[in-house]
Amino acid sequence: MFGINPFAAISAHIPPGVMQTYVVVMIVLVVAGTLFDIVHKGSAKYFFANWRKSRKSRQLRGGELASIALKTAAVDVLASGEFCNARRRIAHLLTMYGFVLYLVSTIALVFFYPTAPKPRPDLWPHLWWIGGLMVLAGGYWFWFFIRADVAAEGNSPFRVMRADLFVLSLLASVTLGLLWAWTQSMALFALYIIATTVLFGSVPWSKFAHMFFKPAAAFEKRVSYADGTRSNLPAPADQPERFGTRVKHVRNY
């Protein structure tokens, strides 16, 4: 079953072109929603204002900027270095890498093997399942056991706020997707499409766009600490800010 392309079975009811168009529409919604979020919240204006401020101080050389960019990618993006809490970091990494695997393999199966029950090589269906299960492991672990208002404040894990829209829609989409792939139920497929539409269509109101902002913010923060202007954000995870002889460690719980 894990080597079967679930989208090939649905092609008997829905033409592959319709599914491919749907995926393209979801990508357009993410791009449009992210741009709207940037304009509405002024994120780009804030970022470039800080960047211009840093340019007025000590000019960093090309090699220094390249080194900062590499460190940003390795520490802040690929390793989620902003999370000092080990459990939170592991849950985040499981969800992040699982979502990437799940998303890329979905695109591969829908566009390149739309009617092939067992694509050759059969790597993509396995990656689709692995990615989905990683999302569920990291996402549900975070939701029920790691969230600050649940783990530290004792609130119910079923207490929902607007800020939870992204993680809940992601979990709903992936959960329903795996259940549909297991059962091939058209009812579950319809729910899967609804949850997925909410996930990608709610970018302006959820934290989805943060995954695009965070690398830029992390890079700007490292540049500001390197050129001496200092960002108003906490120090980079591997560069605790010094106040005299004291060191302020920023923790994320």
pLDDT 10s digits, 9-57: 898 899 999 999 999 999 999 999 888 877 766 655 656 665 566 555 5
pLDDT of 105 above 90: yes
C-alpha dihedral sign at 175, 162, 38, 93: negative
pLDDT value at residue 238: 61
User: Within 10 Å of residue 57's Cβ, how many Cβ atoms?
Assistant: 12
pTM: 0.76
Instruction: State percent of the chain over pLDDT 90.
Output: 41
Instruction: State percent of the chain over pLDDT 70.
Output: 65
Q: Rounded to an integer, what distance in angstroms lies between the CA atom of residue 107 and that of residue 114? A: 10
- 219's CB contacts (< 8 A; 6+ apart) are 68, 69, 72, 76
